[in-house]
Amino acid sequence: MRIASFIFLWVSCFTAKAQEKTVQHIGWKGNRIELHTINNKQQSCTVLLGKDSLKVFLINDNAKVIELFTIQRIPNENFSGGFIKNSNIYLYLDNPKKDNLHSLLYNIDSKILSENLVPFVLKSGKIINKLSSNNYFFYFTLNAKTSEFVIYRFNDEMHYDTIRYTSAPGIVEDMKNKD
């Protein structure tokens, strides 16, 4: 019984510590704010999207904000995802009216932000999902015309790999009918 009590108190101590609150005033008003998070093993990045800008918080493994920067947002852009790799934060935004992705690269060490437009056109492809992982950002699409499942893996701010899998007959039609 003493061992069970000790374990309970020990877990409670760490749980209470993990629930400490950090408050950060961002100065925005309104109800059109989105929250997105990407992470790797050492740190996480929380992205707040407002009407005209992004606020990016880099948070270390002790849940302390170690970096905060603001980026102007291009109208009609939506946050797609990103990743943190080699002291860089990669963020991707898309605009449904344009044939490219807006990529943002922030170097944590030098504090330099660079922006790029990545040519990216989904011809007849339907986006199934997007995934931010430790070292890459992925688009998963389904192309109805070619019956292909296509994965786009973004490696850095300008380059991506395309992997195509031929899907079995009927899968594309089943996916289209689920909408």
Q: What is the DSSP string of 31-82?
A: S--EEEEEE-SSEEEEEEE-SSEEEEEEEETTS-EEEEEEEEPPTT-EEEEE
Question: Which pLDDT value is given to residue 65?
Answer: 87
State yes or no: pLDDT of 179 exceeds 80. no
- Mean pLDDT throughout 61-72? 86
Beta-ladder partners of 65: 59
State yes or no: pLDDT of 20 exceeds 60. no
- How many Å apart are CA 28 and CA 40, to the nearest integer? 28
State yes or no: pLDDT of 9 exceeds 70. no
Question: Which pLDDT value is given to residue 114?
Answer: 94
* Residues 104-115: tens digit of each pLDDT: 999 999 999 999
- Look at the block and give the residue holding tokens 């109800």: 31
**Cβ–Cβ under 8 Å, residues 102 and 91:** no
Closest CA to 48 of 28, 22, 64: 28
> What's CA 154's distance to the chain center, in Å?
12
pLDDT band at 136 (very low <50, low <70, confident <90, very high): very high
Statement: the pTM of the whole predicted model exceeds 0.75: yes
Question: Which pLDDT value is given to residue 79?
Answer: 92
* Residues 75-98: tens digit of each pLDDT: 888 999 999 999 999 999 998 888
Question: Which pLDDT value is given to residue 151?
Answer: 92
Question: Which pLDDT value is given to residue 121?
Answer: 81
Question: Which pLDDT value is given to residue 25?
Answer: 59
- Mean pLDDT throughout 65-75? 86
